[in-house]
Structure 1
Amino acid sequence: MSSPSPAPSRTIAARAGLAALVLPLTGLVLPAPPSDVVLAGGDTPLPAGTAGDAAWDLLFLAALGTALWLAARAAHWCACGPRAFQAARLARVSTVITVAAGVLANVLLLIGTAWARDLAAAAAVLEFSALLPAVAIGLWGVVTLLWRCVAHSPSALAARTRTRLRTRAPRPVEADDPPAPRDGDPEATRWRDAYTVPGVDPDAVSRRFAEGTHTTGVCLSGGGIRAASVAMGALQSLRAELLSSDYLVSVSGGGYTAGALQQALTEARPPTPLPGDAVRDPASVFAEGTAELHHVRRNSSYLADTPGRMLAALGRIARGLVLSLAVLFGPAVVLGVLAGALYDAVPLTPLTLDPLTYPAPRPGALVALGAVGGAAFLLALFTRGNAHRRARAGRLVAPLATVALTLAVLALAVPLLVWAAAALLESTGRVSAGVAGPVGTVVLTYLAAIASMFWRHRAMLGRQAAGLFRRGTGGIPAALPGGVLQRLLVIVTTGVLAVVWLLLFAGSATTLGDPEALWTAALVAAVVLVLGAGFDVTSLSLHPFYRQRLASAFAVRSVRRQADGQVVAVPYDPAERTSLSRYGAATAGFPKVVFAAAANLTGEARTPPGLNAVSYTMSADWTGGPDVGWVRTADLERAVTPRFRRDLTVQGAVAISGAAFASAMGKASRWFQVLLAVSGARLGAWLPNPKFVRHAHEAAEAGDWAHPWLPRARRLPYLLREVFGIHPNRDRLLHVSDGGHYDNLGLVELFRRRCTLIYCVDASNDPPPTASTFAEALTLARQELGVRVELDEPWQAEAGQVEHVPGIDTLTLAGRLSASPLITGTIIYPPESGLCDEVRGRLVVARAVLWPELPYQLLSYAAHQPEFPNDSTGDQWFDDAKFSAYTELGRHIGAKARAVSTVPTMPATPAVPATPAASTEAAVR
């Protein structure tokens, strides 16, 4: 989104930025009243020359105010999004308060009476408090402005617009979005917008249905290696249906299989010659007995199949933890030392390191806090309920409240923290406290991160502690709902980390400007700068390791060797960049592969209730979703830097779609997400926001040099966003994670593409009763798309439908057998889908459950393995027996799905009438 007031020419802006940096240097040559004298108040005599110093200080305030105002304007010119504009407004208001309070302090100081001196002290405290946000925001604005003056040169803007960027706008939710049609009710309009998928023509779907041809889709559910194994077997049985399909949508573990198929069939040539001719046969790829399937079976423990690789994985977590903590906790040392030096030079509140002496705030500070806080409160009351007042005077409420909060922190909170830290250091010893705190934090965070990663292994612990945690026994879970307990754990987790950070800050502030401490702070600042600016935060996480390990198991080609004609499996070279637009392109006779992920959005009411995530899909054609917009994948690959291109690959899409544990997990949010963000043990990745890419390209075409462009890497601010859970929809990058955080089946994406025949392979490991993941997908489809599915006999797929079967040991299989693994139903699309009223679809869901007709060897395996077929998703170390058992189960549920009639039936009740259908196909830019 471009700035409401366009930036001036590049020359004028550069001069303004340089002036903002130079003008404050006048303070180095102009005298000023000593700060301790001004803040002392009372009726003590003033030193000689104070009147002259106060007069000169007025001149300095004029120069400082001009510099701060120019810096605030620079921040406004560089702003993009509501939060940035609010920050620029805060800088302007803080500038006015700084200059006004400084002038008032000098005038009152010249009056010289006791009451005037006390008020001068209050004004001085307010001046320094307002100066802090003005300088921080202004400095960011000036540095950013000067950088864009150089980096966004006319030649750079021309290069960005040299190639055509094909995009689609997101659904109209905000003021800058394209207007929505005004016909129909709001819910129907939302449904119509949610069907926006580039390249999908509802008229063509209707014509095909009238001709007796289906638009067919296959979706593979999430569930890690368990789901990948089931999907591998199911697609062997459903091979004919797969090859006649239009779409193959995969989520998480299902993406392992979809990615393997895509990489085995791709027509993209590798950079290095193969030892023979690649075999690309969609009818036989990954069939039973093939070389490529044998390769995956040997590597089914893909994360770590040897002790050495397990140690390497733990080492990667430790490395990410140390680097992340250095980036996050290093600023505590730097800011603490600088705060100590500031209070030594400007004693807003006299600091004391004596544990018996409380740091009492100056009366002037309390007067200033009451004045500014009271003004913000009264102004908020004045503007309440009046739109005109709120539009004008209401803009001052937040800046005044921020200045009041800053004043309270500087005058009250920081001195109290320093006093508490000094008392702690005095009682425990400076060395032991200074070393044990950070070391203990590293160790505890590392252990907590490991525990959170294996949180899904909690089933065994839960059974062992069933008596303690069973509802009705009086334990904590019996007294508190799960959601409340989860929030309490989040609060405790973040609270511990915040306390450690604050103690480290306060302990560093006790140095009070010591020269050695300043040199230490400079060294720490250099380390933080190198790590925060030089490293990509995604490279500090487990995502690269996860992507590489998945590729080692599932990225393979079948090659007929020239030497002996033998067909062998040749793994991909780790250096081969499997760009999504080339390697993910549809192969003749094979459907389009769509990797379903989730874009996390918080605090802006753009997500379905309770999800905190929206659809974000990645394919060879388009990347994005209806809520964030779309951009052509090939265009996006050209627009980003090489660091982002690593994830805009087939292997990157597989890993991102399967990022099950991350710092943000949509509807699957858990208390340990903060630990994952801090420790680096996270799998999500930051990817370009299609909506921002669209706006940035439009700004470049208009010659708007001040508008931001896509970042070259994911720097420190994005790690902070993960820690604090800040995910705005306008950001340049979106935090993208497992597709199961939105819909774990991928079913909604096939409904969005208006498929009339859908095969869904469900290996989502739902605990009985009912297929909860399937039920959630149907609810989401109804809310987001208006799709209704009338099920036939869904209870046949429930465990416990078969109590006794002669010849089967009911002692071990009792309650685990279903009558059938299938759930079928009729799909009814609303008129907002753009389809004809006569169009009806057919849904076949094949669940990974047990039923009596399974082969003896599979039921025998189930009898000896009570967790089968519901092994934890956290178990990613499958041996050959487990992989073979799940693949065999997949083959049988696929065969059952294939035998089901696919003739669509009319619904039992007529469809609900709605507004006339309208095609969602819009012009592609």
Structure 2
Amino acid sequence: MTGVPKGNTWRGHLSKWAEEPNGLFGEDFFARYGDRLWDPTVADQKAAHSFHVELISRIATQPLGYSEGIEDSALTSIFDLFAIARSLSKARADCKTFEVIVWHIFNSFVRPFTAKWHPKSQSGELHALDSSDIFRAELEQVQSRLVALDSILNGMTQQDGYGLQSLERPANKLIGDEMSGDVKWRPMGEPSSTTDREGRLTCENILLANLSNEERTQVEERRKFYAVKRAGECDWASGIALSGGGIRSATFAMGVLVSLSRRNLLRQFDYLSTVSGGGYAGSFLTQLLGSTSNTDFSLASHHLPFRRDENESLVLQRIRQGASYLSASAGERLVVALAQIQGVLINLFLMLTAISTIAYGELRLRRALPDYLANAFVLPFVIFGSALLLGAIFRRSFNLSLGGVKRWMTTFGVISILPLIWSILGALHQLSFKLTIGLSNVHLAEIGTACLGLIVVATVLAFSFSPIKPLLLLGITTGLVILAEALAYQIFCKSDLWMGFGVLSCSLGLALILWFFLDVNSTSLHDYYRKKLAASFLVNTSLKEAVPIKLSEFDATRAMFPIINCALNVPGSKNPKMRGRHSDLFSFTPVSAGANLIGQSRMSDWENANTELNLATAMALSGAAVSPLMGLNTTRFGSFWLTLLNIRLGAWLREPSLKKVAPAFPNVSYLFKELAATATEEDPFLQISDGGHIENLGVYELLRRRCRFIVAVDGEHDGKMTFHALTNLQRLAYIDFGIVIDANLADLRLGETGLSRSHFRFCRIRYPADKDRTGEEIGYLIYLKLSLTGNEGEFIRRYKLDEPSFPHQSTANQFFTEVQFEAYRALGEHVGDKMFLSALTGFTDNSNTDLETWFKALGNSFLDPLVQFAPVDLGKDEVVSP
């Protein structure tokens, strides 16, 4: 066939499909068939048309979004093509052109794919989306070759039929246009304005504008150092949020950070917002990079702390060694135990002194008043008081306005209960006298033991039957206080009154000394907790324990701008916004600290007002998980017992405002505020505890700043996958800022096998329009969840067999072993790596990934086009029915 023109040969006709990216035909193929005359028969054309119809109508050749379609169905669709090609080839012996081309492509490219994935599909491996991610990446390669095959077959029919031109989703254009929109960055959440809504110049607004500008300057300092530029009409911001969850969350987050660092992405994020356990990892970075000029340390992938050479980074090895951060020597444990016992004894002494004072006063009053005079007015007084209380309830139920009378009625009604309490105590004293007449001390001891046993049984019942737990605990607490008063009354009765007065006076004198000279922060566990955290997570470039930096001295050149989130506990607040919350989100940054309730003040002012306030203090307060006041979870009986037993990791900080006159330190009155859960934002000292007590994901402050791109790492304890942190954030974001977070969590929920289908979801953040813009702004949130999908490495699978509760082992376990630490760290890195699969991003080399490009690639895989509703223009005569 040497006389055949080159363009009419198979080589000439098919050469354009021999080149990459398809590469359908190699030199071996052309050596055998290349010189043949390109002359498809009628049978070839008919077979080509039939197979063309199959290709254009099958899921096997259709582009799918990340959550669209079923992988098993796509695999089956491709597998079925073999039978169809076989049938067409057998039908006519003279369709050799069709036969050679189709079977060459199928045997070279399609058969290896189906041979690999068919058994995996049968074993259920495609259930996990991050397994199907690899499947989809390889499916896309097969699809591209089937598209090229369809083009060849279309040409073979010599008709201009429908052709598969590309594998791009039709929705990608709409999604791309949407994601090209900007979100205007708001440092500190406020515009740089010095006037209020009426245009008046105020000191508060001037301060807020200055703080906002200082925050912007520090963020831009890091951008300049790493040569990070922002594309678009307006400047936009990005942030990483690390959730609460103790050492479990910190370790998981560390693995995710390693994965982001390997793609050179960490240097492109502006903010690092942390809560509780996530703050361990965040404060580690803030201390290490915010206090050094060592050129070998930065967020760049080729620098420490995340650079990995032959072995794991030495810095991360140092953190691994501190995983069991609460461990202590025998001597240290003894000192801590003695300090804790001291705190408990002081609290008990103060409580018993108050109860004894009431008992002694009752005894003197009963002896001073004749019985008939003491009891004559009890019944009518109680009846009248009850009527007033019922009237107050009736008024509130029917919204009746009685002006100042309502306060008088309520107050008098409460006072009216006192005679009832007087009668109950009197009856209790009479009963105790009758029970103790003729009984020896041994009998009294037995009675006391029996009462203690009843209390223990009641406590166990309270925690066993959660629906009645609040009532039982309240009853137990009230009962113990009443019994303690009755016991003190009995002791005073059986002793000389003046001797009792002398003992009580000494107790009151000592209590008064404690009132004026005891700093209640010094008796809590906060100081010990802070020192242990600092020793484990705050290190310098020599990998030694560092002196914690003051946040106001933070060097912003190399590190992300830190936001350390805590809870401002105000269960006694009269602000209606605190109804049900009992707390407000409080944050520390290098520029400022504060909350919505109290406003923002300079960080240096907070540090001047609280001399021990530094990065270690902020980290420990953010992780003060157990405290009498616990934000949303605050209860009266819980506060009572946690204070009494001195289980207090939170602390009182002096608010730096000059308007408030305060003692030099939080005295005993603040201990009683913890005991009775009556702290407010008006107090000179403010009660600060774990940020997870109000918002455990750490995203709230990033939303305030209108970050365009956010990565949220959720490592909280959530074995049933109820997503409390995210759903709580959705509620707070909408109520406080009018922000809507669209999140579809179906693939993260547990399936029948107890596994999730995916580790993460891609969500929209819908910021409301501000005064300068007409439409809403759209940001994006990658929500990573501590989860298993079943395709993790063998080490993680083995650990799961040994520890069935993994990866949601109790947060109470803060003593991680090396194996436990590595399991969570490896899982974090595994989850982080899954965000960069080629099937999701299209990246073949992501060693130096651009942040905006990465988010847009994930958006194309995850998002459906946003449905926009045009506003309805109602005329004057039009009525909208409810």
TM superposition score category, shorter chain reference: 0.5 to 0.7
Match of 2:749 in 1: 798
How do residues 183-262 of structure 1 correspond to structure 2 at under 5 angstroms?
199=212, 210-211=232-233, 214-239=236-261, 240-262=264-286
User: Contact 1:384/1:390 (CA < 8 Å) preserved in 2?
Assistant: no
2:737 aligned partner, one-letter code:
L
Change (3 A) 1:180 1:509: farther
Structure-1 separation of matches of 2:331 and 2:247: 21
User: Contact 2:238/2:269 (CA < 8 Å) preserved in 1?
Assistant: yes
Match of 1:677 among 643, 646, 649: 643
Q: CA deviation at 1:262?
A: 1.4
Q: CA deviation at 1:330?
A: 2.1
1:326 aligns with 2:353: no
Change (3 A) 1:529 1:363: closer
Match of 2:602 in 1: 632
Q: CA deviation at 1:248?
A: 0.7
Once the two structures are aligned, what percentage of the paired residues are identical? 25
Match of 1:867 among 805, 826, 834: 805
What SS does the aligned partner of 1:297 have?
A: helix
Q: CA deviation at 1:765?
A: 2.7
Superposed CA deviations along residues 107-142 of structure 1, whole A, max 9, x for unmatched, are: xxxxxxxxxxxxxxxxxxxxxxxxxxxxxxxxxxxx
Larger Rg: 2
Match of 1:621 among 591, 597, 618: 591
Match of 1:495 among 478, 498, 511: 478
Match of 1:587 among 551, 556, 561: 556
Q: CA deviation at 1:291?
A: 3.6
1:601 aligns with 2:566: no
Match of 2:730 in 1: 778
Match of 1:910 among 844, 868, 871: 868
1:687 aligns with 2:710: no
Match of 1:650 in 2: 615
Change (3 A) 1:265 1:381: closer
Structure-2 separation of matches of 1:363 and 1:525: 30
User: Contact 1:219/1:747 (CA < 8 Å) preserved in 2?
Assistant: yes
Change (3 A) 1:890 1:249: same
Superposed CA deviations along residues 474-494 of structure 1, whole A, max 9, x for unmatched, are: xx85xxxx5x42322431342
1:760 aligns with 2:695: no
User: Contact 1:579/1:650 (CA < 8 Å) preserved in 2?
Assistant: yes
Superposed CA deviations along residues 681-719 of structure 1, whole A, max 9, x for unmatched, are: 122222345xxx54xx3x5xxxxxxxx513322222222
Q: CA deviation at 1:393?
A: 5.0
What SS does the aligned partner of 1:614 have?
A: strand
Structure-1 separation of matches of 2:295 and 2:381: 74
Structure-2 separation of matches of 1:301 and 1:442: 36
Superposed CA deviations along residues 383-409 of structure 1, whole A, max 9, x for unmatched, are: 999999944555544554465455665
Structure-2 separation of matches of 1:438 and 1:539: 34
User: Contact 2:249/2:277 (CA < 8 Å) preserved in 1?
Assistant: yes
Change (3 A) 1:291 1:507: farther
Structure-1 separation of matches of 2:532 and 2:454: 26
Change (3 A) 1:301 1:438: farther
User: Contact 1:781/1:787 (CA < 8 Å) preserved in 2?
Assistant: yes
Q: CA deviation at 1:614?
A: 1.9
Q: Which runs of 5+ in 1 are unaligned?
A: 1-167, 171-177, 183-194, 270-276, 351-359, 459-475, 560-568, 700-707, 802-814, 915-925
Change (3 A) 1:788 1:327: same
Change (3 A) 1:775 1:379: closer
Superposed CA deviations along residues 796-823 of structure 1, whole A, max 9, x for unmatched, are: 333338xxxxxxxxxxxxx244332111
Superposed CA deviations along residues 31-60 of structure 1, whole A, max 9, x for unmatched, are: xxxxxxxxxxxxxxxxxxxxxxxxxxxxxx
How do residues 175-574 of structure 1 correspond to structure 2 at under 5 angstroms?
199=212, 210-211=232-233, 214-239=236-261, 240-267=264-291, 280-283=297-300, 284-287=303-306, 289-306=312-329, 309-310=332-333, 312-344=335-367, 347-350=368-371, 360-362=372-374, 365-366=377-378, 369=381, 390-393=402-405, 396-397=408-409, 400-401=412-413, 404-405=416-417, 412=423, 415-423=426-434, 426=437, 477=465, 482=466, 484-510=467-493, 514-559=497-542, 569-572=543-546
Deviates more, 1:616-625 or 1:498-507: 498-507
User: Contact 1:224/1:873 (CA < 8 Å) preserved in 2?
Assistant: yes
User: Contact 1:229/1:883 (CA < 8 Å) preserved in 2?
Assistant: yes
Change (3 A) 1:308 1:363: closer
Structure-2 separation of matches of 1:745 and 1:381: 39
Q: CA deviation at 1:873?
A: 0.7
Q: CA deviation at 1:310?
A: 4.9
Q: CA deviation at 1:315?
A: 4.3
Structure-2 separation of matches of 1:382 and 1:869: 52
2:530 aligned partner, one-letter code:
R
Superposed CA deviations along residues 730-780 of structure 1, whole A, max 9, x for unmatched, are: 333333221112111112221111000001111113223453432332233
User: Contact 1:342/1:513 (CA < 8 Å) preserved in 2?
Assistant: no
Structure-2 separation of matches of 1:819 and 1:169: 36
Superposed CA deviations along residues 541-582 of structure 1, whole A, max 9, x for unmatched, are: 2222211211121121122xxxxxxxxx1113xxx5643322
What SS does the aligned partner of 1:820 have?
A: coil
Change (3 A) 1:545 1:593: same
Match of 1:663 in 2: 628
User: Contact 1:372/1:400 (CA < 8 Å) preserved in 2?
Assistant: no
User: Contact 1:828/1:911 (CA < 8 Å) preserved in 2?
Assistant: no
Q: CA deviation at 1:856?
A: 2.7
Kindly report the root-mean-square deviation, in angstroms, between the aligned alpha carbons of the 2 structures. 4.6
Change (3 A) 1:664 1:377: closer
Q: CA deviation at 1:509?
A: 4.1
Structure-2 separation of matches of 1:280 and 1:645: 29
1:717 aligns with 2:655: no
Structure-2 separation of matches of 1:439 and 1:623: 52
Q: Which runs of 5+ in 2 are unaligned?
A: 1-187, 200-207, 220-228, 842-853, 873-882
TM-score, normalised with respect to structure 2: 0.63
What SS does the aligned partner of 2:626 have?
A: coil
User: Contact 2:326/2:814 (CA < 8 Å) preserved in 1?
Assistant: yes
Superposed CA deviations along residues 241-299 of structure 1, whole A, max 9, x for unmatched, are: 33222211101100111111112223289xxxxxxx89743444442533432222222
What SS does the aligned partner of 1:571 have?
A: coil
Change (3 A) 1:323 1:367: closer
Structure-2 separation of matches of 1:862 and 1:548: 33
Q: CA deviation at 1:654?
A: 1.0
